[in-house]
Amino acid sequence: MLRRLSVAVAGGLLLASAVAGCGASDDAGSGNSGGGGDDKITLGFSQVGAESGWRTANTKSVQDSAASAGIDLKFSDAQGKQENQIKAIRNFITQRVDVIAFSPVVESGWGTVLKEAKDANIPVILTDRAIDDPDTTLYKTFIGSDFVEEGKKAGQWLVKEYEGKTETVNIVELQGSPGAAPANDRKSGFADVIKADPKFKVIASQTGQFTRTDGKAVMETFLKSQPDIDVLYAHNDDMGLGAIEAIEAAGKKPGTDIKIITVDAVKDGMTALSENKINFIVECSPLLGPQLMDLVKKAKAGETIPQRVLTEETTFTPEQAKEALPSRKY
C-alpha cells in the first residue's frame, strides 16, 4: 500500500515511512496515563464513525499500522457527531496522550478544543479531512486527499463523455454529510469544471450522508420528482450503491439509463463499476495508517514535519476496475 501513497509537501519533499515493533490496544480508555514511563508512544485517535466502506478500511488501516508500529492506540468512534469528537479530544488531553490525531466530522468549530491541546503541548495531526480554521499552528500537519481535485476529476470525465453533444445533460447530485470537507470540496470542484458548459445542469442536489441507506432514499425521491435524469454524481461509492438499488427498483438500468460517477473506489464500488452499473470512479485512498504512524513518531520526537501530506490517487473506468479488482486491498 505504501507504493501507492506518495507524500507531497509544499516544497515537494518525500517522506519515507518507517514501521517497526508490534502490539497496540484499541480502546478509548480512561484513567490510563498516556505519555509517561516507557518509550511506547500513545496516540489518541478520534474517528468520524463507520458510515461507509471507505471509513471501515481507514479504521482498519489505522489500527493495523499502530499495532505494527508499536504505538499504543486509544481509538474513539464519534458516531458522526462533532460533540463526541470534542469530548474524545478533551479526554485524550486529560489522559496526556503523546499525540492526538483525528478525522474531523465537519470543517468548522475546532478552534477552542485545539487551543486546549496546544496549551497542553500535545501535537495534533489532522487525518483524512481538513478544518477551516486559519490558525495553522493548531495542528502539526494534515494528511489526506485533495477533495477539490477529486470533484474536478469527476467533472472532467463528464465533460469528455458528452463532448460534441449539445442537448442538456440533467445531473442529480448526492452530497456527503453536511459541513464535511469532502462534501464541500467534491461539490465545488465538480461545479467548477462543469460550469464552463451551460448544457450541464444540476437539477437536484441533496445530502445522502455518505451512507447507502440515505443514498437509496434520496435517489428514490429524485426519481419521483425528476422524470429526466441523465447523470448521477455521488460523493462516495456507498451512496452510489444505494442509488443503484433505487434506480433498479424504478425499472431503470444504472450505468446505461442513468450514468453514474462516484468517489472512493472501495471494493463494492469497483465491483459495480466492473459490471458497468457505475461508469467512472475517482479514487480516494483510505490507507493512511502507515504514513500517519510515521508522522506520529516524528511529532513525538519533535522533528519538523511537512504541513501538508497529500495522498496520490487515480481514477477508474470499468475496464480498469476489472484489472484492479483482484489485487484491491479495500
| Nearer residue to ligand GYE within complex by CB, 55 or 259 | 55
Q: Kindly state the helix (H) or strand (E) to which residue 315 belongs, with its residue range.
A: strand 315-316
Among 45, 54, 92, 222, which residue sits at the site for ligand GYE (rule: CB under 6 A)?
54
**CA–CA separation, 102 and 302 (whole Å):** 19
Would you list the DSSP string of 154-219? HHHHHHHHTTT--S-EEEEEEE-STT-HHHHHHHHHHHHHHTTSTTEEEEEEEE-TTSHHHHHHHH
**CA–CA separation, 109 and 274 (whole Å):** 40
Q: CB of residue 148 vs ligand GYE: minimum separation in angstroms?
A: 13
Among 44, 104, 151, 182, which residue sits at the site for ligand GYE (rule: CB under 6 A)?
182
| Nearer residue to ligand GYE within complex by CB, 186 or 300 | 186
**CB of 309 within 8 A of CB of 295?**
yes
**CA–CA separation, 316 and 265 (whole Å):** 8
Our finding on whether 291 is near ligand GYE (CB under 6 A) is: no
Question: Which among 24-32, 51-59, 115-123, 296-304 is the span making contact with ligand GYE, rule CB under 6 A?
Answer: 51-59
Among 75, 162, 210, 316, which residue sits at the site for ligand GYE (rule: CB under 6 A)?
210
Question: Which among 39-47, 48-56, 240-248, 321-329 is the span making contact with ligand GYE, rule CB under 6 A?
Answer: 48-56
Among 46, 55, 218, 234, which residue sits at the site for ligand GYE (rule: CB under 6 A)?
55
Which of 306, 279, 313, 304 minimizes the C-alpha distance to 126?
306
Task: Give the number of residues in contact with ligand GYE, rule: CB under 6 A.
Answer: 13
Kindly report the backbone phi and psi dihedral angles of residue 277, in degrees, each rounded to the nearest multiple of 5, phi listed first: -85, -25
Question: Which among 49-57, 74-82, 160-168, 191-199 is the span making contact with ligand GYE, rule CB under 6 A?
Answer: 49-57
**CB of 172 within 8 A of CB of 204?**
yes
The residues binding ligand GYE (CB under 6 A) are: 51-52, 54-55, 128-129, 182, 210, 236, 238, 263-264, 284
